[in-house]
Amino acid sequence: MSPPVVSIVTIFFNAVRFLEDAVASVLAQTYERWELLLVDDGSTDGSAEIGRAFAARHLDRVRYLEHHDHANRGMSASRNLGIRHGRGDLVALLDADDVWEPEKLTRQVALLEAHPEVDLVYGAPLYWFSWTGDAAAVGRDWSPDLPVPAGTVATPPELALASYPLGSGSAPCPSDLLFRRSLVDRLGGFEEAFHGIYALYEDQAFLAKVYLNARVLVSGERWLRYRQHADSCVSVVNSGGHYHTLRRFFLEWLSDYVQAHDVRDVRVRVALRRALRAVRQPTVSRFETQGRMFVARVLRLGNRIAHVLIVPLLSRMLPLSRPDDPPRVGRVRFGDLRRLQPVSREFGYDRGLPIDRHYIARFLAARADDIHGRVIEIGDDAYTRRFGGARVARHDVLHVEPVPGATFVGDLACADHLPSDAFDCVILTQTLHLIYDVRAALATVHRILKPGGRLLATAPGISQISDDQWRTYWCWSFTIRSLRQLLTETFPKGEVVVEAYGNVLAAIAFLHGLAAEELGSDELAYRDPAYELLITAHARKAGGP
């Protein structure tokens, strides 16, 4: 029996910079039974001519396709056009800015033939930064962790729950997929509603259908170089500030799909409800926040008047207990807080400024002079810009995923690609609790700091656990003693200062998801050593000025 034919669908729109590299990686495949369908989505930059030239040179294997009137119909419509014209039993996708390794098709076809029960296979791509040849990009290439162990044949709905956007695991790249043509016929292809800015989720919509209906083989092999650049769909959409809107559009589409196809798995429905609740959470307007602050001030003023004028008068008339005395058993008034569910599961973001963020800002403001020179921050550079200002010569950002604005990508616990003795300051807020190997992460921080460089870190003490994708990463809560001991294993003992913010009222309010605006400044400022809500740490590397 002859090996199956693979129909390779490469869609492109104004891809003149990269299209030839993508096609060259197809021509270099060790697997021989393939056809390439180059689908032009209305290009205007000359890439159409490149596609037609390849088709003319390889008449037996390469075809050029376009929409009627050379229209721009979007990624999903273009993928569907290519698949409809394909003649193979298997389909592979290759976006015009990505590059395959030569063994890609050989290995993937062999895996599908060895697993006839599987409809789709993908591997562990390389997030490819070094293609530019720039010195700053060398060492930034990385591969994400798989959502399930390598070699797993995942049955529905395992990957739906484990992978982004319902789970925390990395989603596969379209260019890494090989699947059976019968799967497309069964599921109806790519969803063409995901057009324009909504194209960010076009592959996720297709994969969601796959995860809920088919078996998928997840391999740990690397077959794809996933090119990272500022003009990619992900970068353009994210930099436009549309991410929240697009995520909601996708989740509502997925909710409709689950309902229409009678997906009854309780885990899927619960995960979907949780995700929808997060994106549908009404935002608090500036006027609502100011109104709440005004009401809180009036109530606090009323309390002070009562204590100053009325309580002393009554205390002379009645044997009242002192204000600080605890209420008698059975007389505690819980009010709005007598509930089994918190007021908010969003840490207070939906009501104003979270209490821990209020404390983080106070800590960084007090240490603002340490934020200077070359600074690296985890997640984004918001605090660097806010508290460093003109003192900062260069902003760097480390993120675990290749998001816009990240200059380094990877896990702090295994970040050999970060340069040693390079940074004057590391801002490490609310991150250590998500890293299992905290010692390794702190060793990295110490290594990358210049002699005399400063670490400014915060970590949760008393806290709810997040209800988002980071929940599965949440490993620790800290105390002053535990964080001090960890830091002094790496930094000089005399150069480590660890403190805590919080009191019983602030802790109760934070656990309920109340905002800082709902407490008074004196209530927030009071520190009770028995209630370590937020742990802060300042550490200095030996040497330097």
Q: How do residues 357-382 score in pLDDT, each as one tens digit?
A: 999 999 999 999 999 999 999 988 88
Report the alpha-carbon distance of residue 385 to residue 427 in Å, rounded.
Answer: 11
Span 189-206, mean pLDDT?
Answer: 90
Residue 145's pLDDT is 86
Helix segments in 69-201, DSSP class H: 75-85, 104-114, 158-162, 181-187
Residue 301's pLDDT is 67
Residue 324 has pLDDT above 60, yes or no: no
pLDDT > 90 in the chain, percent: 68
* Length of the chain, in residues: 545
Residue 290's pLDDT is 57
Place 321 in a pLDDT band, splitting at 50, 70 and 90: very low
Residue 408's pLDDT is 94
Q: Residues near 487 by Cβ (< 8 Å), separated by ≥ 6?
A: 442, 455, 496, 498, 537, 539
Indicate the average pLDDT of the chain: 89
Place 508 in a pLDDT band, splitting at 50, 70 and 90: very high
Higher pLDDT, 469 or 106: 106
Span 12-17, mean pLDDT?
Answer: 95
Helix segments in 353-503, DSSP class H: 355-366, 382-388, 438-448, 480-488
Mean pLDDT lowest among 153-157, 260-264, 282-286, 508-512: 282-286
Report the alpha-carbon distance of residue 344 to residue 466 in Å, rounded.
Answer: 11
Domain 355-540's class? alpha beta
Residue 243's pLDDT is 66
Number of C-beta neighbours around residue 342 at 10 A: 16
The ranges assigned to domains in the chain are 6-238, 286-333, 355-540
Span 194-207, mean pLDDT?
Answer: 90
SS3 (DSSP) at 60: coil
Smallest CA-to-CA distance from 407 within 136, 135, 127 is with 136
Task: Specify whether the CB–CB gap between 450 and 421 falls below 8 A.
Answer: yes
Residue 308's pLDDT is 58
Q: Where does residue 335 fall: left (phi above 0), alpha (psi -120 to 50 degrees), or beta otherwise?
A: left
CATH architecture of 6-238: Alpha-Beta Complex (3.90)
pLDDT digits (tens, 9 = 90+) for 280-304: 764 444 455 455 556 556 666 666 6
pLDDT digits (tens, 9 = 90+) for 388-406: 988 999 999 999 988 888 9
Span 264-277, mean pLDDT?
Answer: 88
Residue 316 has pLDDT above 60, yes or no: no
Residue 218 has pLDDT above 90, yes or no: yes
Span 346-359, mean pLDDT?
Answer: 89
pLDDT digits (tens, 9 = 90+) for 50-91: 999 999 999 999 999 999 999 999 999 999 999 999 999 999
Residue 245 has pLDDT above 70, yes or no: yes
Place 241 in a pLDDT band, splitting at 50, 70 and 90: low
Span 332-361, mean pLDDT?
Answer: 88
Place 139 in a pLDDT band, splitting at 50, 70 and 90: confident
Residue 312 has pLDDT above 80, yes or no: no
Residue 313's pLDDT is 58
Residue whose pair of structure tokens reads 């395992």 in the numeric block: 158
Residue 300's pLDDT is 61
Residue 353's pLDDT is 87
pLDDT > 70 in the chain, percent: 89
- SS3 for 72-87 is CCCHHHHHHHHHHHCC
